[in-house]
């Protein structure tokens, strides 16, 4: 069964950048909390190179004049999450809302519509980018559980293991103990 996973890393930051695309070229950090305990919760790569780190206080981060700070916005995150689900539902009617930053898609039967799994993954990535989300997309095949494990009915119908001596075969008697045996 083919499936795909769409993951948006650093989701709070991705939501802010989606809402304000002009921030893409700046060093940005997202904070949350009540003053004076506001903490940095997400950092863009440029901000990280400037020494800004997750868990820093807002007051410490404000010492960097080239940094753009934004407060975490649940509304922006909700909008980005809706866009993530919209992207996923563009490729499959069977979508699992796994987390605010993750969607899982059942792609069974979708290859005839969209092409190979690699083509579907690329199309999902492009659609997410169109919606303003920098997403990671992975797809794979999952073997069905019935292929790996015998069914209950098969377990009940199995023949018991036969003793080799009852078939006329004999084994030499073992003497001593073996450290590797678990009886």
Domain residue spans in the chain? 2-9+75-141, 12-72
Look at residue 156 and tell me whether its pLDDT is greater than 70.
Answer: no
Which residue in 14, 1, 33 sits closest to 139, CA to CA? 1
Rounded mean pLDDT of the chain?
82
- Per CATH, is 12-72 categorized as 3.40.50.9100? no
Q: How far is CA 157 from CA 150, 153, 154, 160, in A?
A: 11, 6, 5, 9
Look at residue 103 and tell me whether its pLDDT is greater than 90.
Answer: yes
Q: What is the pLDDT of residues 17-62, one digit of tens each?
A: 999 999 999 999 999 999 889 999 999 999 999 999 999 999 999 9
Q: What is the pLDDT of residues 84-99, one digit of tens each?
A: 999 999 999 899 999 9
Superfamily (CATH) of domain 2-9+75-141: Reverse transcriptase/Diguanylate cyclase domain (3.30.70.270)
Q: What strands, in cross-sheet order, belong to the sheet with 136-141?
A: 95-99, 102-106, 2-7, 136-141
Domains 2-9+75-141 and 12-72 equal at CATH topology level: no
Token pair 């921030």 in the structure block, residue: 23
pTM over 0.95: no
């Amino acid at each position: 069964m083919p499936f795909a996973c769409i993951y948006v890393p650093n989701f709070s930051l991705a939501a802010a950048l989606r809402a304000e695309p002009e921030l893409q070229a700046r060093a940005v950090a997202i904070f949350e909390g009540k003053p004076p305990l506001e903490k940095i919760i997400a950092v863009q790569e440029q901000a990280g190179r400037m020494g800004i780190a997750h868990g820093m206080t807002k007051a410490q981060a404000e010492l960097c004049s080239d940094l753009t700070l934004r407060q975490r916005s649940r509304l922006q995150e909700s909008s980005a999450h809706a866009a993530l689900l919209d992207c996923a539902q563009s490729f499959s009617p069977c979508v699992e809302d796994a987390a605010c930053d993750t969607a899982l898609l059942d792609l069974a039967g979708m290859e005839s519509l969209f092409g190979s799994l690699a083509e579907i993954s690329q199309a999902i990535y492009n659609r997410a980018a169109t919606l303003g989300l920098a997403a990671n997309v992975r797809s794979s095949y999952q073997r069905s559980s019935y292929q790996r494990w015998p069914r209950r009915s098969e377990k009940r119908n199995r023949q018991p293991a036969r003793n080799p001596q009852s078939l006329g075969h004999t084994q030499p008697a073992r003497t001593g103990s073996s450290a590797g045996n678990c009886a």
